[in-house]
Amino acid sequence: MNDVKRVYRFGADAAGNDVTEGRSSMNYVLGGKGANLAEMCRIGLPVPGGFTITCQTCTDYTSAGDTWPEGALDEIADAVQDLEARMGKRLGDPTDPLLVSVRSGAPFSMPGMMDTVLNLGLTDASAQGLITQTAAEHFVWDSYRRFIQMFSNVVMGIDADLFENALTEKRLMAGVRTDSELSASTLHELVEEFKQIFCSHVDPKAHPELVQEGRVVFPQDPKVQLKLAIEAVFGSWMNERASIYRKQHGISDSLGTAVNVQAMAYGNKGESSATGVAFTRNPATGERERYGDFLVNAQGEDVVAGIRNTEPIQDMATYPALAQAADDLERIFVILENHYHDMCDIEFTIEQGKLWMLQTRSGKRTARAALRIAIEMVEEGLIDRDTAVKRIDPSQLDQLLHPQLDTTASFEVLARGLNASPGAAVGEIVFSSDDAVKRSNEGHPVILVRWETNPDDLKGMVAAEGILTSHGGKTSHAAVIARGMGTPCVCGVEAFHIDAKAKEVRIDGSDVVLHEGDLISIDGGEGIVVLGAMPLTRADLTGDLETVLGWADEIRLQEDGSHPYHVRVNADNPDDAALALDFGAEAIGLCRTEHMFLGERKNIIQTYILSDEVQERSRALEELLRVQTSDFVEMFRTMDRRDVVVRLIDPPLHEFLDDPRELAVALARREAEGAPQDELSLLRARLRRIDAMAESNPMLGLRGVRLSFAFPDLPLMQVRAIATAAATLIRDEGLSPRPEIMVPLVSVASEHIQMRSIAERVIQEVESAFGVALDIPIGTMLELPRACLTADEIAPLADFFCFGTNDLTQTTFGFSRDDAEAKFIPAYLHQKLLTANPFETIDSAVLEFVRMAVSKARTAHPGMTFGVCGEHGGDPASISQLFNIAGVDYVSCSPYRVPVARLAAAHAKLANR
C-alpha cells in the first residue's frame, strides 16, 4: 500500500508558488471537485490552499469494514502539516488557528452523501485565539456555532432541528429576524448550548475517543475533528440515499469518493464578504448571460438553505465593497469557459473584498439550454461540432418532443406511477376502449384508464390522449404500445382502484372518487396524475434540435474505419411511417403485421382460425389478403425507395380470440339462467375451439415461424400481400418499393430455410402474374438463444438478421416480461440483484448473444446486414453497446425515439473513434 499516493496538494505555498499536484483529468482519482480545484489552481485562479484524499482511499476504507489502510493517516497528517506551513497557521493554534472545510467529491456529482463541514479546527481554545487575532468576536462565535451545528449533524448524525430550535428561541428572545443580528454574546451562549446538545446525543459506546471522565465532550483536538469528518464522508458513500442514486444512475459502488480539505475562506466577515453560486450561461434557456445568486455576509450553506433571500449575481457590482470581486468574477467566467469550453457551474466566496473560487464543474442544463449552448459555442469557436453533439444527452431529448405540464401553474399530485411514456395529456376519464373511441369521436379528449391493457384495447389507445394503468410495468403492453405511438402513459398507478364496471376509481389516501368523464391530467415523463385540466406547454422540434441532429447524422453516417450507424423505425402503419420520416428515420426496421388484423378485421381472422368449413376459411383468407395488400400499398408508397422490413405474423393466434375464461363464465351464467339449449350448444362449441388454442406459456408456444407449419396459409397470404403490393406500385405507379420479409422466432435453421423456399415460390408467382421483377430480401429475426448460438447455420440462407432483443432478453434470463416486471424485477433492482432493468438497458449476456451471432454470421455469410428492433434500439446506453460491441448496422425504434437514437448513434460513433 505504501506506493499508493493517497493525498494530492493544491494551491500555493507560503511563497505564493503553485504546488498543485492534480489536474482536471484526474476525476477518478480526486473526484470531480478535487480535480477541478486542482485545475483552477493550475490556470491561476484564486483557490484557498488545501489537499485532496483520493477516492481509492475511501474504497479501501469501506471495503475493509471501515478500517484505515496502512499509512493513509500518516500521509494525511503530513498533508495537514504541509498545509499549515503553506498557510502559516496551525490547526487548533490558540493564537492564530488554521480553519478548514471538509467536502466530499466523487467522480460523478452525487447527492445524498455527506457534503460539507465548514470551520473545522475551531475549539474553545482556538476560538479565543481567533478572536485575539481578528477582534471579530461576533464572526468567531457565529463560525464556532455553525461548526458545532454542522459537525453534529453531518458527521455525527444528530437531528438538525435540535440546533435550529435553539437558534430560533434565541432569535425570539432577542427579538431579531436573522441569525446575523444576534449579538456576539448570544452566539457564545449558543456555542455552549450546542455543545450540550452534542454531548447528550452522542453514544459514548460508539465514540470512546470522545469520552473524558466518563462523559462525552465536544472534541477539542482538531485532528480528531478532521479524522471523524473524513470518516463520515467515507461512510456516507455507502449510505442508502447515495446507494439508491448510484443504482439509478448506473454508477459503480467501487468508485468511492474523494475528500477535499481546504483552508477556509469567509463570506461572513461583514459587508465586504459574500458567498454565491453561479453559471456562466443560463442553464434553463442556454442564453449567453450570467446566472446565479449571492448573499452578502454569509457562509455557503446559507445560499442553499434558502433562509435568507439571495440576490441575482448581476446585482453584485452594485455593492461598492464587492465591485472589484464582481469584476474579477466576470473575468474568471471568461477564463473558465475558454479553458473548459463548456458552460460552468461555480461556487465562490468573497472574504473582505477578495474573491476565492471554491468549486467549478460542468453546469447541468435543460435539453433546450444544452442545444442552444452547444450551437452557440460552435459559433463562438469554443468547441467543434463533434463536441457539440457529445454535449447533448440523448435521454434528455424526450423532454423536447412531447408536451409537458406547465409547471408555472400550481398543482397537487393526485397519485404517482411509473413514467412509462413521456409527454403530458389532459382528458376525460374513460374505462373501456369502446368508450374511448365513442367519446373521442364526439370531440372529447380522453384518458384511457385500465387495470392493464391488451391488444383489444388498441383502438381505444389510439383514440386516447393519454393512458393510465393501475398495473403493469414500463414494458407492459400499455407502456410499449404507448411509447410506440408517442402517447403519454403512466403505468402502475397502484393507488388507483379501478372498478371498470361501475366506471369509477377510488384512490388510496384520498377522498376523491373519479367517474367517467372527470377530467384528469397525466405526465408520462414524470409519472404523475393530477386532478382536473392542467395547462400544457408543447415544445416543437426546435431549430436548435434540428441543427444538432443534422450534425449527429453527419457523424454517425461517416465511413471512418467503422461502418455507418443507421437508425430505422418500428412502424406498423403509414401515419407512423410518415411521422418517423419527419423525425429522421432512414427506413422501417420493423413493421408488425399483426396489428393489421385488429379492429374490424378481428372477425375475419377469427373466422379463419375457428371455422371448420374450408370454404369459409378460404373466404376469410381472401379477405385478409385484400386488406393486407392495401395496407402494404399505402405503407410502401409512403416509404418509397426506402427499406421496409415486414415481419410475418408473430403472436399466438389465441390473442385474436375471445378470452376463454370470460366465455366460460358467460356460459356458466347462461346455464344457471336456464338459457335455451341451442344457445348453450353454440357457446360450448365456441369455448371448446378456443380452449383448443390455449397454451400454458404462450410466449414460448405456437407463434412466430412455428405458425407457418400449423397454419401455413397465413404467412403465405402475407408474403403474397407484400409481393402484390410491391408489384402493383411498380407496375401502376412506377414507384420503387423496397419491402423485406422477416421470419420471426426462428430457433433452428431449417425453419428459416423452409419458410424461405415457400415464400420465394409465392414471390415468383406474383412476379409472373404482374410481369415485374421483384427483389425482396428474406431475413431472420434472431430472438432466441439457440438462433444466436447457431447463427452460422442460419446465415447462409438469410439476407439479413434483425435481433429482437425483447424476446431474446426473455429467453436468456428466463423472464416473462409481463410477469417479471410486475412481480420481481422491482425487488431485484431494489436489492441490487440487477443493476438495471434488462428490458430497458441491454444486459451484458444478451449483448454477448448478439455479438456472438453477428460475428458467426459475418464469417458464414459476408456482406449480411444486422439490426436490432427490440426496445433497446431506442435506449442510448444500449445503442452505444449494440453498435460498438455487438457490431450491428442499424437500430430500429419507435417514432418518438428516432431523434434520441440518431443522437445516441452519433455518440456511439464518436466513442468508437
- Name the residue with cell 408489384: 727
Query: Residue 222 and residue 227: Cα distance in Å, rounded?
Result: 8
Is position 297 annotated in a ligand binding site? no
Rule CB under 8 A: say whether 304 interacts with its own copies.
no
The three cell numbers of residue 164 are 435550529
Q: Which is nearer to its own copies, 407 or 750 (CB)?
A: 750
Q: How far is the CB of 361 from its own copies (least distance, A)?
A: 33
Q: Which is nearer to its own copies, 343 or 755 (CB)?
A: 755
CA distances in angstroms from 406 to 465, 521, 797, listed in the order given: 17, 11, 54
Rule CB under 8 A: say whether 506 interacts with its own copies.
no
Is position 617 annotated in a ligand binding site? no
For its own copies, the binding residues in 656-685 under the rule CB under 8 A are 660-661, 664-669, 671-673
Helices (H), 351-397: 367-379, 385-391
Q: How far is the CB of 739 from its own copies (least distance, A)?
A: 26
Residue ranges of E strands in 595-711: 643-647
Q: How far is the CB of 658 from its own copies (least distance, A)?
A: 13
**Residue 804 · residue 744 · CB < 8 Å:** yes
Q: Give the count of beta carbons closer than 10 Å to the beta carbon of residue 192.
A: 12
Among 754, 841, 884, 912, binds its own copies (CB under 8 A): 754
Rule CB under 8 A: say whether 328 interacts with its own copies.
no
Query: Residue 543 and residue 371: Cα distance in Å, rounded?
Result: 9
Stretch that binds its own copies, among 12-20, 316-324, 562-570, 821-829 (CB under 8 A): 821-829
Among 811, 837, 880, 881, binds its own copies (CB under 8 A): 811
- Which residue in the list 138, 402, 477, 872 is annotated as catalytic? 477
First to last CA, the chain: 36
Q: What is the CA radius of gyration of the chain?
A: 33
Stretch that binds its own copies, among 482-490, 756-764, 803-811, 901-909 (CB under 8 A): 803-811
Q: How far is the CB of 800 from its own copies (least distance, A)?
A: 20
The three cell numbers of residue 512 are 376523491
Rule CB under 8 A: say whether 451 interacts with its own copies.
no
Q: Which is nearer to its own copies, 262 or 812 (CB)?
A: 812
Rule CB under 8 A: say whether 284 interacts with its own copies.
no
What amino acid is encoded at 444 in this protein? H
What amino acid is encoded at 411 in this protein? F
CB burial class (10 A; 0-12, 13-18, 19+) of residue 518?
middle
Q: How far is the CB of 717 from its own copies (least distance, A)?
A: 19
Q: Which is nearer to its own copies, 181 or 819 (CB)?
A: 819
Q: How far is the CB of 792 from its own copies (least distance, A)?
A: 12
Q: DSSP label at 731?
A: H
Q: Which residues contact 309 (CB under 8 A, 6 or more apart)?
A: none
CA distances in angstroms from 188 to 134, 147, 277, 303, 379, listed in the order given: 16, 13, 30, 24, 56
Among 14, 304, 833, 911, binds its own copies (CB under 8 A): 833
Q: Which is nearer to its own copies, 595 or 706 (CB)?
A: 706
Rule CB under 8 A: say whether 834 interacts with its own copies.
yes
| Interface mask toward its own copies for 18-57; x: CB under 8 A | ----------------------------------------
Among 284, 682, 685, 845, binds its own copies (CB under 8 A): 845
The DSSP code sequence of 185-232 is HHHHHHHHHHHHHHHHHS-TTT-GGGEETTEE-----HHHHHHHHHHH
CA distances in angstroms from 692 to 651, 660, 686, 687, 702, listed in the order given: 16, 10, 10, 8, 12
Query: Residue 908 and residue 382: Cα distance in Å, rounded?
Result: 23
Distance of alpha carbon 167 from the chain centroid: 41
Q: Which residues contact 893 (CB under 8 A, 6 or more apart)?
A: 567, 568, 569, 570, 589, 869, 871, 873, 874, 900, 901
Rule CB under 8 A: say whether 832 interacts with its own copies.
yes
Query: Residue 63 and residue 119: Cα distance in Å, rounded?
Result: 30
What amino acid is encoded at 410 in this protein? S
Backbone angles phi, psi at 136, to 5 degrees: -105, 75
Residues in the chain: 913
Rule CB under 8 A: say whether 823 interacts with its own copies.
yes
Rule CB under 8 A: say whether 323 interacts with its own copies.
no
Q: How far is the CB of 124 from its own copies (least distance, A)?
A: 48
Among 611, 816, 855, 884, binds its own copies (CB under 8 A): 816
Among 849, 866, 883, 896, binds its own copies (CB under 8 A): 849
Active site residue 869: yes
Q: How far is the CB of 815 from its own copies (least distance, A)?
A: 6
Is position 592 annotated in a ligand binding site? yes
For its own copies, the binding residues in 607-646 under the rule CB under 8 A are none
3-state SS, one letter per residue, for 299-338: CHHHHHHCCCCCEEHHHHHHCHHHHHHHHHHHHHHHHHHH
Q: Which is nearer to its own copies, 376 or 821 (CB)?
A: 821
CA distances in angstroms from 120 to 117, 131, 182, listed in the order given: 7, 16, 22
Q: Which is nearer to its own copies, 527 or 660 (CB)?
A: 660
Closest of 365, 483, 481 to residue 422, by C-alpha: 483
Q: How far is the CB of 843 from its own copies (least distance, A)?
A: 7
Rule CB under 8 A: say whether 783 interacts with its own copies.
yes
Query: Residue 56 and residue 62: Cα distance in Å, rounded?
Result: 10
Is position 804 annotated in a ligand binding site? yes
Rule CB under 8 A: say whether 574 interacts with its own copies.
no
Among 224, 317, 748, 836, binds its own copies (CB under 8 A): 748
Q: How far is the CB of 723 from its own copies (least distance, A)?
A: 24
Query: Residue 35 and residue 332: Cα distance in Å, rounded?
Result: 18
CB burial class (10 A; 0-12, 13-18, 19+) of residue 867?
buried
The three cell numbers of residue 868 are 436490432
Is position 783 annotated in a ligand binding site? yes
Is position 575 annotated in a ligand binding site? no
Q: How far is the CB of 818 from its own copies (least distance, A)?
A: 4
Among 251, 598, 735, 789, binds its own copies (CB under 8 A): 789
Query: Residue 594 and residue 607: Cα distance in Å, rounded?
Result: 16
The three cell numbers of residue 756 are 424461405
Query: Residue 716 and residue 761: Cα distance in Å, rounded?
Result: 10
For its own copies, the binding residues in 682-721 under the rule CB under 8 A are 695-702, 706, 709-710
- Which residue in the list 869, 872, 893, 907 is annotated as catalytic? 869
Query: Residue 147 and residue 161: Cα distance in Å, rounded?
Result: 15
Among 614, 831, 862, 863, binds its own copies (CB under 8 A): 831
Rule CB under 8 A: say whether 758 interacts with its own copies.
no
Q: Which is nearer to its own copies, 36 or 476 (CB)?
A: 476
The three cell numbers of residue 585 are 428515420
Q: How far is the CB of 550 from its own copies (least distance, A)?
A: 40
Rule CB under 8 A: say whether 807 interacts with its own copies.
yes
Distance of alpha carbon 911 from the chain centroid: 20
Among 115, 751, 799, 840, binds its own copies (CB under 8 A): 751
Stretch that binds its own copies, among 63-71, 114-122, 640-648, 827-835 (CB under 8 A): 827-835
Is position 568 annotated in a ligand binding site? no
**Residue 883 · residue 381 · CB < 8 Å:** no
Count of residues interacting with its own copies (CB under 8 A): 59
Q: Which is nearer to its own copies, 411 or 813 (CB)?
A: 813
What residues form the annotated binding site for Mg(2+)? 783, 807
Q: Which residues are annotated as a binding site for substrate?
A: 592, 647, 783, 804-807
Active-site residues, by number, are: 477, 869
Residues that bind its own copies (CB under 8 A): 660-661, 664-669, 671-673, 695-702, 706, 709-710, 745, 747-748, 750-751, 754, 783-786, 789-790, 807, 810-816, 818-820, 823-824, 827-828, 831-834, 843-846, 848-849
